A and B are shown apart, each in its own frame.
Chain A
Amino acid sequence: MTRPEYAVVTVYSTSHALRAEKVLQRVGITNKLIPVPRRISSDCGVCVRILQVDAEPARRALEAAGVEVEGIQSL
C-alpha cells in the first residue's frame, strides 16, 4: 500500500489552526493538526495536514470562511 500524499496548510498561530480545522471539518475535508514539519518552517506551532488532492478545495473553503492562511505545501 502506498502512503497517501499529504499537504499542509500553514497558519499564523494555533488559534488560526483550530479555526481552519473547524472550517475544513464543516466542508468534509479530512484533516489533522500536526506540529509544523521543520523543513517547512522553524516555527514551533501546529499546522493542518490534509490530503494533497484536497489542497485546492481546502484553499477555497478557507478563503471563503476568511481564515488567513500562510501557505499550502506538499509534504
Chain B
Amino acid sequence: MIYFDNAATSWPKPPPVVEAITNCISEVGANPGRSGHRLSIEAGRIVYAAREAVAELFAARDPLRVVFGQNVTEALNLALRGLLRPGDHVITSSIEHNSVMRPLRALERRGVSLTIVQCSPEGFLDPAAVEAAVRPDTGMVALNHASNVVGTLLPVREVGQIARGHDLLLMVDAAQTGGAYPIDVESDMIDLLGFTGHKSLCGPMGTGGLIIGERVDLARLEPLKRGGTGSRSEYEEQPGFLPDLCESGTLNVPGLAGLRAAVRWLLERGVEGIRARETALTQSLLNGLQAISTVTVYGPLDNELQVATISFNVSGMECSEVGLRLDEEHDIMCRVGLHCSPAAHRTIGTFPAGTVRFGLGSFNTVEEVDLALAAVRTLAEEA
C-alpha cells in the first residue's frame, strides 16, 4: 500500500512514538498535576517534557507558553475567539483552511471585521497587499503557513515584520509545516503559533496546541473553556497564568508522551534534513505529473516554494473517481475534493470540483513516487 495522505494525517508513525504511548499507559497512568504523588508527578514530567520538546522545535524560549489541546483547530479557535472582540479588524488570506475561516466568519457575525487578502492562483501571498489592508482598528493577521491544498508557503516572516511595524499580532496555522519546514517563532515574528501533533510532527491524533508569545496580552485572552487545572484549587476563578489559563480538564497524557517522542525523533533527524528529503520527492512528483499531457497540476510547481502537498486533476475524470481508482486499482491512499478549504479552491480555480491531493511524508520513497506516477499515467490514458 502507498500512503500519500500525509497532509490529512501522517502514517506510519515513528516506532518510538508507539512505544512512548504504550509505556505511558501501562506504566504512568496517573493524572498529571492533580495529586502530588510520585506517579502523578511522573505524568506531569511527561507533559512538561512534551512542552520542552515543542518549544525547542519552534525555538520558543518558554515551555510554559506552549499550551496543549486536542489539535490545531482548537488552538486556532483559542487564538481567534480568545483575542478578537467586536470592533476589531483582522486580516487573513484567501487560502485559509476552514479551521481559520469558520471561526473568523462566526466572529464577523458578532462585529469583528475581516479583510481577506487575495492570493495568486498559485497560492502566493503578496506581503505588500497585507500591509495595504492594515487599518487603525486592525488587531491581528491570521495566516496559513502553507496551503493544505497546493502546498504553497506563505511569506510569514515578511508579514511578521509588517505586523510588528503596525503593532499587530501575527497568528500562524502551522498544520502543514510543523516538523516539515523550519519554524522559529522569534525570527519569524510569530505571536501565536498553532500546531497539530498528528501531521508532519509525526505524533498521535488528539494532540496539538498554541504557542503564545510575549506580545500577547494574557489579561485579554479568553480561554475556550474553564475548569480544573490542579492549581490554585482554593479559588473559583480560572488562574491567569500559562499554561493553566488555557488548559482546563485532564490532558491527553498518553498522546503527549507520543508527541514528545515524535518531536525528539524529528529533532534527531533535523527538520532541514526532512525538508531536503521531501523536496526531492516533491520535485520528482511534480515533474512526473506535469509530463502527463492530460494532467493539470496546481500550485507553485517549484519544490522550493512549497511543502510536499500537491494537487492535480486528470482531464476527463472527476477527482473522486481518480481517488477511488487509485485506492482500488493501485493501492494508493490520497485525498480528493475540497480539503476543508473552499477559499483555497476558489483561489486556484478548482471550486467546487476539487482536486486530487498527494501529501508526502517522512516515510515515502522514490519507488512509491514512481509507482504513483505510473498509476496516474494509466488512469490518464483510460480517462
List residues of A whose CB falls within 8 A of some B CB: 12-19, 33-36, 41-46, 68
- A46→B63 contact, CB < 8 A: no
Q: How far is the CB of A22 from chain B (nearest CB, A)?
A: 9
Interface: B110 (CB within 8 A)? no
- B64→A46 contact, CB < 8 A: no
Q: How far is the CB of A13 from chain B (nearest CB, A)?
A: 4
Interface: B48 (CB within 8 A)? yes
Q: How far is the CB of B244 from chain A (nearest CB, A)?
A: 5
- A15→B64 contact, CB < 8 A: yes
Partner of B41, one of A16, A41, A46, A68: A46
With A12-B232, A43-B234, A45-B233 known, 17 other A-B pairs at CB within 8 A are A13-B229, A13-B243, A14-B32, A14-B48, A15-B51, A18-B41, A33-B41, A35-B36, A35-B37, A36-B36, A42-B233, A43-B231, A44-B35, A44-B233, A45-B36, A46-B40, A46-B44
List residues of B whose CB falls within 8 A of some A CB: 32-37, 40-41, 44-45, 47-48, 51, 63-64, 229-234, 239, 241, 243-244
Distance of A45 Cα from B37 Cα, bound (Å): 10
Distance of A16 Cα from B40 Cα, bound (Å): 15
Distance of A34 Cα from B44 Cα, bound (Å): 13
Q: How far is the CB of B223 from chain A (nearest CB, A)?
A: 15
- A13→B63 contact, CB < 8 A: no
Chain A residues closer than 8 Å to B34, beta-carbon distance: 44
Q: A15-B48, A15-B64, A15-B243 are in contact. Are A35 and B35 (CB under 8 A)?
A: yes
- A15→B36 contact, CB < 8 A: no
Partner of B64, one of A19, A36, A44: A19
Partner of B230, one of A14, A33, A34, A68: A14
How many A-B residue pairs lie within 8 Å, measured between CB atoms? Answer: 69
Distance of A51 Cα from B44 Cα, bound (Å): 23
Which has the most chain B C-beta neighbours within 10 Å: A16, A34, A46?
Answer: A46
Chain B residues closer than 8 Å to A36, beta-carbon distance: 36
- B48→A18 contact, CB < 8 A: yes
Q: How far is the CB of A69 from chain B (nearest CB, A)?
A: 13
Distance of A43 Cα from B33 Cα, bound (Å): 11
- B233→A14 contact, CB < 8 A: no
Chain B residues closer than 8 Å to A16, beta-carbon distance: 64
Chain A residues closer than 8 Å to B37, beta-carbon distance: 35
Chain B residues closer than 8 Å to A68, beta-carbon distance: 241
- B44→A42 contact, CB < 8 A: no
Partner of A19, one of B41, B63, B239: B63
Distance of A43 Cα from B230 Cα, bound (Å): 8
Partner of A18, one of B45, B232, B241: B45
Chain B residues closer than 8 Å to A44, beta-carbon distance: 34-36, 230, 233
Q: How far is the CB of A14 from chain B (nearest CB, A)?
A: 3
Chain B residues closer than 8 Å to A34, beta-carbon distance: 36
- A45→B33 contact, CB < 8 A: yes
- B230→A45 contact, CB < 8 A: yes
- B33→A14 contact, CB < 8 A: yes
Closest Cβ neighbor of B47 among chain A residues: A15
- B234→A14 contact, CB < 8 A: no
Closest Cβ neighbor of B229 among chain A residues: A13
Distance of A35 Cα from B39 Cα, bound (Å): 12
- B44→A15 contact, CB < 8 A: yes
Chain A residues closer than 8 Å to B35, beta-carbon distance: 35, 44
Listed by A's residue number, 10 A-B pairs whose Cβ atoms lie within 8 Å are A14-B231, A15-B51, A33-B41, A35-B35, A41-B234, A44-B233, A46-B33, A46-B36, A46-B41, A46-B44
Which has the most chain B C-beta neighbours within 10 Å: A13, A36, A43?
Answer: A13
Distance of A23 Cα from B36 Cα, bound (Å): 19
Q: A33-B41, A46-B41 are in contact. Are A15 and B234 (CB under 8 A)?
A: no
Q: A13-B241, A13-B244, A14-B33 are in contact. Are A19 and B48 (CB under 8 A)?
A: yes
Q: How far is the CB of B51 from chain A (nearest CB, A)?
A: 7
Partner of A13, one of B36, B40, B234, B239: B239
